[in-house]
Amino acid sequence: MKALIISDLHANFAALSALPERYDELWVIGDLVNYGPQPREVVDFVRQRAIVVVQGNHDHAVGFNTDPRCTPRYAKMASTTQQFTTSQLSDNDKSFLAGLPHALEFERDGKRIFACHAKPSDPLYGYCPADSEQWALEVRRVFADVLLVGHTHTPFAREEGCTLVVNPGSLGQPKTGRSDACYAVWQHGVIELKQFPYPVQQTTALIDAMPWPVEVRRDLITVLQTGSVS
């Protein structure tokens, strides 16, 4: 059984539709929407194809019309694109996002897997980077061989006791210093982190054509091209 693991899609349909591998299952670790120009297409793709989907902070924000609690540097980008996202999605789409679980537990290939967007103790908002000592505490909250997380937009895999903690990185807004989309592959109980180039210019062109403030469009494009904003 082969699964692709993706997270933080952020309405970037060009990256999502360019996934380079066939798969038996698609697992989505939250944040389908906001920041990107094609939320409707991304939500539709995930609803049709994903087997595992958990709720991210941006999904929750759109589903319940609340603040996604972004850092100050990203707050205007988030609020501007959330207004657009809300206008583009149907009530049914928003209900789908609102109804996603904060976490899922399941088994594949004899391995127990726990999936949440941020971290088990705070599945929507908790920011926990790869080198954080918090992971030693987080894995004690779950009974799993593998803990799948997202939220930080940076890929990593680390052993913590008997649990492998894996973040596939961001498919739609990677923060690795390059524009390549990030994902992970699960096959026969083994996880591999991967990246691939996609036509980022398709997404940046759509963003540049949006009726959003110039600084928002500039910052969103910079993040896609370089992985960060100053």
Question: Which parts of the chain have pLDDT scores under 70?
Answer: 230
Q: Please state, in angstroms and rounded to a whole number, the distance separating the CA atoms of residues 12 and 15.
A: 6
Helix then strand then coil, % of the chain, to nearest 5: 35, 25, 45
- Give 37's contacts (C-beta < 8 A, 6+ positions apart): 11, 12, 84, 203, 206, 207, 210
Res 229: pLDDT: 82
Contact 84, 210 (CB under 8 A): yes
pTM beyond 0.95: the answer is yes
What confidence score (pLDDT) does residue 228 get?
86
State the pLDDT at residue 5.
99
Q: Return the H-helix or E-strand segment holding 161.
A: none
Q: Are 161 and 147 in contact (CB under 8 A)?
A: no
Domains parsed from the chain with CATH numbers? 2-226 (3.60.21.10)
